[in-house]
Amino acid sequence: MSAERVVGYLPDETPQFWELIVFALQQIVVMFPATVLVALITGFHVSTTIFASGLATLVFILVTRRQIPLYYGSSFSYIAAIASIMSAEAFAGLSLNERISIAQFGIVMSGLVSIAAGIIIKKSGKETIDRVLPPTVTGSIAIIIG
């Protein structure tokens, strides 16, 4: 039998330089519009959103010691909450930057809750979480978020 050519690369393999350039351009084409679109929809500053996205990506790469090549972009799951904060009558007297800071506080708190959940899962094991949140629940949540 002849060996089949595998399309793609394993984690310990390095593509040729020209392929790296093509892959980098693909990442930009995928990443940039989504990151900018979330900022425009929510009323956030585009430059701040891109900066935070890049910072989060660099921190993740350092924390994982370059083992997982992942880009951290804007999340569309926050759009409804941010849009409601930005248009709420209770915040009508606040400036745009003050409303953005309130939304950012919620995003940061959400991140801290995610970190806490990760620590709990690491200590107690995935099986404990599966008992509390079975796949039917987590699958439904994933479908709703998109």
Boundaries of every domain in the chain:
12-74, 79-146
Per-residue pLDDT, 25: 93
Q: What's residue 10's pLDDT?
A: 78
Tell me the C-alpha distance between 124 and 105, whole Å: 28
CB atoms within 10 A of CB 127: 8
**Residue 53 pLDDT exceeds 80:** yes
pLDDT tens for 65-107 read 888 878 888 888 888 888 888 888 888 889 988 998 999 899 8
Residues 30-51 pLDDT 10s:
888 989 999 998 888 999 999 9
CA 114, CA 108: separation in Å to the nearest integer? 10
CA-based radius of gyration for the chain: 20
